[in-house]
Amino acid sequence: MKTGITPAEKDRRSGITLRELEVLQALVDVGTAINAARRLGISQSAVSRRLSQLEDRLGFQLFMRSGGRLVPTVEALSINEQLTPVFDTLARIANHADQPEQAYSGVLSIVAPPTIAHRFLPGRIAVFKKQNPDLQITFDVLASDSLMTGIAEDRFDIALSDSNVAHEGIRSELLLKTQAICVLPRHHHLASFDVIRPEDLHEEAFIALSRRHSSRAAIDRIFDRAGLRLNIVIEASTNVSVTEFVREGLGVSLLNPFPLSHQMGDRIIVRPFLPAIDYVTNFLLPSSRAPSSATLAFMQAMRSGLEHVS
């Protein structure tokens, strides 16, 4: 039985290059070799070659082909998640070397839906403001549909949202990928399970997000396909209110762990849920203009802050 990495495997893995890891990250983000090549400014054949080299060094497959796209394996997603702070650090080093520290001025308008606005952004905006005292910041909290309309109409510089976006007036930049968790009252009988599955929640009192949330449709589909019934006892419009109802013992729920997973308190138990329900939290920008230097600096600051919450 194989119990560890052989010296030959160790030597092979030590040869992994930064470009190979950049190819992995680009493929996870954009899904095709041609789009990854465009992002990195290299040829499609170079992308394929670097991916093959990386898989050979690691000794396992990183992507599966499906409908013309490259679908990342669990191993690829795990590696990619660990790469984010590495590349953020490299970007900060490069920026520091290429230009002196500077503070930004002008106006920066930020908008977010309630949970992200209240549980993730305020402290980070405060830090960013202290670093840029001459920058005037406006911060709005809106429901996702109003938020996207405002970005598309160029009324805000930047938004954060985990809602699905398909609008020609909006450009998306990835912030974070997560998967749904099951949240349970502390003494719930399912708290002893290592993983929660749809059949475990059949007929359980369930706290659901309202139907305006795109994730609600994904949850409903999983249970419909399994022929199972969700016993919805309360519908709520925000993740914060859902967690409060769970804390009070009214039921269980499925939620995006960002940005609440470290703020649940000891009266709530969190468990993984399978099959996976994917969430993507994006920066949203007006596609009608390029982002300002202050907007780009804000995005970098928010990415850097993720290492403390993910």
Q: What is the pLDDT of residues 144-190, one digit of tens each?
A: 889 999 999 999 999 999 887 878 899 999 998 999 999 999 999 99
List the CATH code of the domain at 106-175+280-308: 3.40.190.10
Homologous superfamily in CATH for domain 181-276 = Periplasmic binding protein-like II (3.40.190.10)
pLDDT per position as a tens digit, 184-215: 999 999 999 999 999 999 999 999 999 888 78
Q: What per-residue confidence (pLDDT) applies to 65?
A: 86
Residue 45: φ, ψ to 5°: -65, -35
At 261 the pLDDT is 75
Are the beta carbons of 62 and 76 closer than 8 angstroms? yes
pLDDT of residue 7: 55
Do residues 285 and 198 touch, judged by C-beta distance below 8 A? no
Identify residue 60 by its one-letter amino acid code.
F
Using CA atoms, how far apart are residues 258 and 138, in angstroms rounded to an integer?
23
Q: What is the pLDDT of residue 84?
A: 78
As annotated, the residues of the chain forming the CATH 3.40.190.10 domain(s) are 106-175+280-308, 181-276
pLDDT for residue 1: 41
Global pTM reads: 0.61
Residue 96 confidence (pLDDT): 56
CATH code 1.10.10.10 for 7-98 = yes
* pLDDT value of position 264: 79
pLDDT recorded at residue 154: 95
Looking at the chain, how many residues does it have?
Answer: 310
Residues of the chain with pLDDT under 70: 1-14, 92-101, 305, 307-310
Where does CATH 1.10.10.10 sit in the chain? 7-98
